[in-house]
Structure 1
C-alpha cells in the first residue's frame, strides 16, 4: 500500500470521500430533490438566471421572501466542484424563505472547464454583483453565505468578505490535500498553490461568526473536516456554532435545511443574532 493521506492509499481515499457510493438511495433521492426544486420554482415568485458574469454558468436565481430589508441567504451547491447545478437543489430555499430570508441560488463554472482558482473567483464576482444590485432586487441586505460540500468550502473561504455577516458551511470540505490525492483530481487538476490558497483549514483568520453543520451519519472523513475546522476556529478565538445533525447523511442533511423549523435554520437564526 502506498500511503498518501492519513494512512490511506488511493483506493481507501475513494471509499473515504465517495459520498454517492456511501448512500444507497442517492439516485432516487436526487430525483426527489429535482422534483421538489421544480415545484418550488413553480410555487415561489422568482427571477431566474440573472447574470454576474459573461460565462454560461455565471448566473443566479433570486427568490424574495416579500419582506423589506430582509437578510439574504446565498446558497452554493455541492458536487465536488465538477457536477450538479443550482436547479438540483433549489428546494432548500424553502427553509430560509420561511424564516424571512431572501434567497440567492448560486451557480458557477465546473471543472474541468474551470480551475479551482476560477471557481473561487466566481464567488467573489457573485458577491460583488449582489452588492452592486444592478438588477434592483434588494440584494444589499446582510448576507449569510451558505454552501454544501464543495459549496461549503467556497462559503468558508469568503467568511471575511465585506458583504458577508454570517457563514454557514454545511458538510464542508475544508482541506483540499486529500481531494488532490484522489480520483477527484482527475478533473480538478489542483496545483500545490491552489491547495494552499483555497483550503479554509489553512486560513483560520478573523472573520464573521459561523454556523458549521454536518450529519453524524456522513462519511467519517467529512465529519472530521467539520470537527477539525470548528476546533481550529475556536482555538483562534473565532465565533463558531457547531451543529451535528443526528442520523443525517450527506444528502438528508439538505432535507433539514429545507425546513424553516429544522435544526439548521433554528441554529442559523440564533447565530445571526450574535
Structure 2
C-alpha cells in the first residue's frame, strides 16, 4: 500500500540509508534493548523508581555508586508519543556513567491510553520529582542536563515554554540545578501531523496543537531564560522536514534562551543512529554533550 508524500516526510525510517524502513526499526529496537540489558548488568543502577501512579510513570537511575554531587543526564525517549519505553533508552549510560555522570531514563504513558497533554504534564512531574530528590541531599549535583530524542525532544523543550512551571521550579530552588537541554532530531510543530496516520493514536485537539506547536508560538511575552544552554542537533539522513524543524526550533529558541548551539551531524547520520552512537565515546554528539557537562562540573567529576 502506497502512502502520501506528506506521510513519508514525517516517517524518519523511510529516510535512512543503512536499511529499508522496516529493517531499520527492527535493528534500532534490537540494538536499544541490548544496550539497556548490558547497562543493567554492568552498571550499578536502581530501576523503576516511581514518580506517578501508573506503571509507566517510573524512571531508571544508572551510576548509583557515583557520589551525590555527580552531574546528571536525564534521557527522554521518542516514539511519536505512542511507542517506546525506558527499557530501550539507555544509550548514554555505557559511556557517561564511567565518566562520572549519572544517567536517568524516564518512562511515561503513551497515546491513545492517555491524552497528549497528559504526557506533557507527566514529564514535568517526572523532572520535578528528580530535581526534588537530588535537592534534598546534603550534597547536590552541580548540574542536571535533559536530553530528548525525537518526540522526547518535543517533551524536553516543552519545559522551556511553560513559564508557570519554570517559575515554580525557581521558587523551590530546583531550577538552578538545570544547566542544559539537548534536543535530538525533534519535531516541534504538531499541526502537520493532523493529516497523517500518526494522529490516529494521538487524536490531537486544536487546543493541544496551539499550545504545543513551539516553532510557531508567539514568544513575545515569554520571560528570557538565563544561565541555561540548549543544544539542537539532527543528522543529514533524517527526514528533510525533521531537519527543517530543528532549524526552526533554533530560530525560536534564540528569542527566549541566551545560549543556543546548533549541531548538524553529517557522515550519513540518521534519525536512529544519532542516539545509537551515543554509545561511542568519539562520536561528535557524545563528545559535545560530555564536554558541556564536564565544563559545568570542572574539578568535581569523579570517574569510576
- TM-score of Structure 1 vs Structure 2, range by shorter chain: 0.7 to 0.9
Q: CA deviation at 1:128?
A: 1.8
Partner of 2:150: 149
User: Which among 242, 245, 264 is matched to residue 265 of structure 2?
Assistant: 245
Greater shift after overlay, 184-193 or 92-101? 92-101
Where in structure 2 are the equivalents of 1:112-123 lying within 5 Å? Answer: 112-123=112-123
Partner of 1:45: 44
Partner of 1:81: 81
Greater shift after overlay, 66-75 or 51-60? 66-75
Q: Report the Cα distance in structure 2 between the residues aligned to 1:32 and 1:168, rounded to whole angstroms.
A: 22
Structure 1 residue runs of 5 or longer lacking an equivalent are 1-9
Residue 187 in structure 1 maps to residue 201 in structure 2: yes
> RMSD between aligned alpha carbons?
2.4
Greater shift after overlay, 38-47 or 174-183? 174-183
Q: Report the Cα distance in structure 2 between the residues aligned to 1:237 and 1:37, rounded to whole angstroms.
A: 33
Q: CA deviation at 1:12?
A: 2.0
Q: CA deviation at 1:138?
A: 9.0
Q: Report the Cα distance in structure 2 between the residues aligned to 1:132 and 1:236, rounded to whole angstroms.
A: 25
Q: Report the Cα distance in structure 1 between the residues aligned to 2:240 and 2:256, rounded to whole angstroms.
A: 24
Greater shift after overlay, 36-45 or 144-153? 36-45
Alpha-carbon spacing, 1:29–1:128, altered in 2? closer, same or farther (3 Å): closer
Partner of 1:221: 241
- Checking the alignment, whether the CA contact within 8 Å between 1:211 and 1:267 is kept in structure 2 is no
Residue 267 in structure 1 maps to residue 252 in structure 2: no
Structure 2 residue runs of 5 or longer lacking an equivalent are 170-174, 297-304
Q: CA deviation at 1:175?
A: 0.8
Q: Report the Cα distance in structure 1 between the residues aligned to 2:257 and 2:127, rounded to whole angstroms.
A: 26
Partner-residue secondary structure (3-state), 1:179: helix
Q: Report the Cα distance in structure 2 between the residues aligned to 1:60 and 1:14, rounded to whole angstroms.
A: 32
Structure 2 length as normaliser, TM-score? 0.80
Q: Report the Cα distance in structure 2 between the residues aligned to 1:214 and 1:188, rounded to whole angstroms.
A: 24
- Checking the alignment, whether the CA contact within 8 Å between 2:73 and 2:145 is kept in structure 1 is yes
Q: CA deviation at 1:254?
A: 0.9
Greater shift after overlay, 199-208 or 141-150? 199-208
Where in structure 2 are the equivalents of 1:13-162 lying within 5 Å? Answer: 13-23=6-16, 24=20, 25-26=23-24, 27-64=26-63, 66-133=66-133, 141=141, 142-159=143-160, 161=166, 162=169
Partner-residue secondary structure (3-state), 1:159: helix
Residue 170 in structure 1 maps to residue 179 in structure 2: no
Relative contact order, higher structure (CA 8 A, sep 6+):
2
Structure 1 length as normaliser, TM-score? 0.88
Q: Report the Cα distance in structure 2 between the residues aligned to 1:104 and 1:120, rounded to whole angstroms.
A: 18
Partner-residue secondary structure (3-state), 2:60: strand
